A = this chain, B = another copy of it.
Amino acid sequence: MKKYAVIVAGGSGLRMGSVLPKQFLLIHNKPVLWYTLHVFLKSYKDIHIILVLPESYYDTGRAICDEMDSFHPIQTITGGNTRFHSVQRGLSMVRDESVVFIHDAVRCLLTPSLIHLCFEETIRFGSAIPCVDSKDSVRILTEKGPQSVKRTDIKLVQTPQTFLSNILLPAYQTVYRDVFTDDASVVEASDHPVHLVEGEVNNIKITTPLDLAIAEELLDPPQTPV
C-alpha cells in the first residue's frame, strides 16, 4: 500500500504575527520541521511527503526540503487560511489509493514506532488516531457553567491522524465548519467512525520556550553524513 504523509506547517503566516513560526525555530541548529521530516523519512523508505507551507515562508520551507536525503523528492504546496484548508490543499496532491498520515509539523518528537503503529492499525481499521490520557482533571464549559468529566473518559488527541485515502479524500470534499477541530472530526462528519490508538507522551506540540527546551533535551544532535 502506498504511503503519503501530509505535514501541515502552518496556514497563513499572518496568524503567527511577526515572530518566526515555531516550525522554523532551531534545535541543535536544525529547524523543528527538519526533525519532523526526518522521522517520517526514516520510518518508510517509500513514503511520499507533501509539505504544506505558509506562503510567506515557502522558500524557507523549500530550502529545508532540498537538503533532506530522501528517495522521493518532498513535494511542497502553500497552505490556506485555516488548518482545514491547508490539509485540503495537501490532499489535492494525493494521487493513489494509499494510507495517508496527516501530521502537525511542530510535533517533532514522535517516533517511527508510532508511525508504524498508525499504519498497521489503519490497514486493519481504516483509521488510527493517536491519543493519550490527560494527567490533569478536566472540565468542560457548558451553558450551565463548567462541568467536571471523569478523567479516564478524556483523551488528548495527537497526530499523525492516519486514514485510508478512500475514506479521507471524500470526507474532505466538504465545506469548512468550526466543529472540524481535527482530521478525525472531518472524517466522522462523513459518517465514518474513527479508531483510537495509544499515542506517545513525548509527542508534544512545540509551542512555548519550555517545549523547545524539552525538545532539545530529548533530541540528539543530527549526525553529519561522512
Give CA–CA (A210, B213) in the complex, Å.
11
Q: With an 8 A cutoff between CB atoms, is A214 at the interface?
A: yes
Question: Which one of A58-66, A91-99, A167-175, A182-190 contacts B?
Answer: A182-190
Say yes or no: B146 contacts A196, CB within 8 Å.
yes
Say yes or no: A148 contacts B207, CB within 8 Å.
no
Q: With an 8 A cutoff between CB atoms, is A218 at the interface?
A: yes
Q: With an 8 A cutoff between CB atoms, is A137 at the interface?
A: yes
Interface SS majority for chain A: mixed
Q: With an 8 A cutoff between CB atoms, is A202 at the interface?
A: yes
On whether A146 and B181 interact (CB within 8 A), knowing A155-B141, A157-B139, the answer reads: no
Interface size grouping (class) on chain A: 35 or more
Question: Which one of A32-40, A46-54, A70-78, A128-136 contacts B?
Answer: A128-136
**Minimum CB distance partner of A193 in chain B:** B145
Say yes or no: B150 contacts A182, CB within 8 Å.
no
- A142-185 contacts to B (CB < 8 Å): 142, 145-146, 148-158, 178-179, 181-182, 184-185
Say yes or no: A151 contacts B181, CB within 8 Å.
yes
Taking CB atoms, residues of chain B closer than 8 Å to A217 are 210, 213-214, 217
Q: Which of B136, B152, B218 contacts A205 (CB 8 A)?
A: B136
| A133 → B minimal CB distance (Å) | 11
Q: With an 8 A cutoff between CB atoms, is A194 at the interface?
A: yes
Give CA–CA (A193, B147) in the complex, Å.
10
| A103 → B minimal CB distance (Å) | 13
**Minimum CB distance partner of A211 in chain B:** B135
Q: With an 8 A cutoff between CB atoms, is A201 at the interface?
A: yes
Say yes or no: B151 contacts A138, CB within 8 Å.
no
Q: Which of B145, B148, B182 contacts A182 (CB 8 A)?
A: B148
Taking CB atoms, residues of chain B closer than 8 Å to A208 are 201
Say yes or no: A146 contacts B139, CB within 8 Å.
no
Taking CB atoms, residues of chain B closer than 8 Å to A193 are 145
Give CA–CA (A205, B133) in the complex, Å.
13
Given contacts A141-B154, A148-B179, 9 further A-B contacts (CB under 8 A): A129-B139, A131-B139, A134-B156, A136-B157, A136-B158, A140-B140, A150-B178, A201-B208, A213-B217
